[in-house]
Amino acid sequence: MLDIKFVRENPDAVKENIRKKFQNAKLPLVDEAIALDAEKRACQQEAEQLKAERNRLSKANGPLFGQLKKCDDEAKRAEIQAQIDANNEAVKADADRMAALDARAEAAAQQLNKIMLVIPQMIDDAVPIGPDDSANVEVQRFGEPVVPDFEIPYHTAIMERFDGIDMDAAGRVSGNGFYYLLGDIARMHEAVLAYGRDFMIDKGFTYCIPPFMIHGNVVEGVMSQTDMDGMMYKIEGEDLYLIGTSEHSMIGRFIDQILPADKLPQTLTSYSPCFRKEKGAHGIEERGIYRIHQFEKQEMIVVCRPEDSKDWYDRLWQFSVELFRSLDIPVRQLECCSGDLADLKCRSCDIEAWSPRQQKYFEVCSCSNLGDAQARRLHIRYKDESGKMQLCHTLNNTCVAPPRMLIALLENNLQPDGSVKIPKVLQPYMGGKEVLVPLHD
């Protein structure tokens, strides 16, 4: 969410940013926002002038009442009373006008807020320009992708060799997009989460388990309306939503807070289940756990000073690379183009893991710098050295999301005999096991 003052002073830059995001239908919103802001400010200014005049007239009546009390001359008394009555009529007229102005200002402010929630955040200069994810740019690769000389089965087929998944039962219980994990596969799922947790704690992050449901005003503060409609499950009859990622409740933790400057940055790593509609998602009916309605995730969250957010952005995605490489999984960094950025994001990149079966990379982490967009909506601030109030910047990145992580882990560590090597860093979380041996073909 942009500052209306910035929009007012830089309308051409805001419109050019909208064009770069290929959202030309939103171009008229800039002028509408400026007009609504002007109307709101004009109403407020006139209301302030009327308030000052009302106060002046009310104050002027004080001495007149004193004169009226002491005056014995009927003609003079009538003159004083007429002046008091005139002042009272003017005060009443001013009060009626002020009420009308306040109503107009409030209506303009509400409409302005709706528009400002839709105008996208200014993108970083480093963001490549393109209409959709087909224009995302590969930046660099880490690790050598390997294509084995034996066939890699579909990930659920690998899991079934270990009696590790039951999607049929999940379909009967919950429908499509759900799963049961069992045995060593379920244990590996938890091992990945535990390893991700400890990895981030070793980086100096504070471990947190947040609420898994949040109020509507927090949802509006952390994401766009489009993303909200496509992702969030609402609790019927209550002002509560199931979180789609722990970023939502973690950033919401700071709503309406003024953080001590010496407590910045806030660096947190959070565990949560995640619930997503996956509205419009392709392949939701297909067998597999790539795109599902419920999963668990370890997240990274940073709340910092504006001047530090670019540095934190680089550090966060590099943490992802380091973590995946420690699991012997080749990855690449993909810079998201302007048309693929959610409206609140200044910059974003995906970390994609190598899939030997598909012989291509697929997304496993998404790192984002949201600038002051979330902080402005949620009023997350701090006082700088001069005592001036400033908005914080917020960032987030996936640490590990085991459903996709499991796919990458199983495919990249599968052996010709059907066994799966357990990376050394995971072995302590797997009871010391070094390999998973299939129970059947």
| Contact between 379 and 220 (Cβ < 8 Å) | no
Cβ-based neighbours of 49, under 8 Å, separated by 6 or more = none
Rounded to whole angstroms, the Cα distance separating 197 from 299 reads 9
Neighbours of 256 (CB within 10 A): 8
Q: Within 13 Å and on the Cβ side, how many CA atoms surround 367?
A: 24
Q: What is the pLDDT of residues 235-282, one digit of tens each?
A: 999 999 999 999 999 999 999 999 999 999 999 999 999 999 875 444
Q: What is the pLDDT of residue 329?
A: 96
Kind and range of the H or E element at 429? none
Q: What is the pLDDT of residue 349?
A: 97
Ramachandran angles phi, psi of 402, nearest 5°:
-55, -35
Smallest CA-to-CA distance from 401 within 437, 352, 360 is with 352
DSSP 281-349: -TTTTSSSSSS-SEEEEEEEEEEE-GGGHHHHHHHHHHHHHHHHHHTT--EEEEEPPGGGS-TT-SEEE
| Contact between 318 and 107 (Cβ < 8 Å) | no
Q: Output the average pLDDT for the chain.
A: 90
Q: What is the pLDDT of residues 5-35, one digit of tens each?
A: 999 999 999 999 999 999 999 999 999 999 9
Rounded to whole angstroms, the Cα distance separating 2 from 37 reads 13
Q: What is the pLDDT of residue 217?
A: 94
DSSP 241-296: EE-SSHHHHHHHTTTT-EE-GGGPSEEEEEEEEEE---TT-TTTTSSSSSS-SEEE
Q: What is the pLDDT of residue 284?
A: 41
Q: What is the pLDDT of residue 285?
A: 38
Q: Which residue has the higher pLDDT, 363 or 71?
A: 363
- Token couple for 186: 């379920």
Average pLDDT over residues 327-336: 96
Q: What is the pLDDT of residue 177?
A: 86
Residue 369: strand pairing partners: 347, 395
Question: What's this model's pTM, rounded to 2 decimal places?
Answer: 0.88
Q: What percentage of residues in the chain have a pLDDT greater than 70?
A: 88
Rounded to whole angstroms, the Cα distance separating 11 from 33 reads 10
| Contact between 241 and 252 (Cβ < 8 Å) | no
Q: Give 290: exposed, middle or buried? Use CB within 10 Å, 0-12, 13-18, 19+.
A: middle
Smallest CA-to-CA distance from 248 within 284, 289, 212 is with 212
- Token couple for 51: 């308030």
Neighbours of 321 (CB within 10 A): 18
Ramachandran angles phi, psi of 392, nearest 5°:
-75, 165
pLDDT at 300 over 60: yes
Q: Is the preceding peptide bond at 265 cis, omega within 30 degrees of 0?
A: yes
Residue 166: strand pairing partners: 180
Distance from CA of residue 235 to its chain's centroid?
Answer: 20
Average pLDDT over residues 396-416: 94
Give the pLDDT band of residue 229 (cuts 50, 70, 90).
Answer: confident
Kind and range of the H or E element at 50? helix 27-70
- Token couple for 157: 């087929």
Give the pLDDT band of residue 81 (cuts 50, 70, 90).
Answer: low
Average pLDDT over residues 414-431: 96
The alpha carbon torsion through 390, 315, 340, 338 (nearest 10 deg) reads 60
Q: What is the pLDDT of residues 345-372, one digit of tens each?
A: 999 999 999 999 999 999 999 999 999 9
| Contact between 274 and 396 (Cβ < 8 Å) | no
Give the pLDDT band of residue 66 (cuts 50, 70, 90).
Answer: low
pLDDT at 287 over 60: no
Rounded to whole angstroms, the Cα distance separating 39 from 41 reads 6
Average pLDDT over residues 161-185: 93
User: Domains plus CATH for the chain?
Assistant: 4-116 (1.10.287.40), 133-436 (3.30.930.10)
Q: Residues 102, 105, 108, 109: is their CA dihedral positive or negative?
A: negative
Average pLDDT over residues 81-104: 69
The DSSP symbol for 351 reads E
Average pLDDT over residues 279-306: 78
Average pLDDT over residues 394-402: 95
DSSP 405-428: HHHHHHHHHB-TTS-EEPPGGGGG
Q: What percentage of residues in the chain have a pLDDT greater than 90?
A: 77
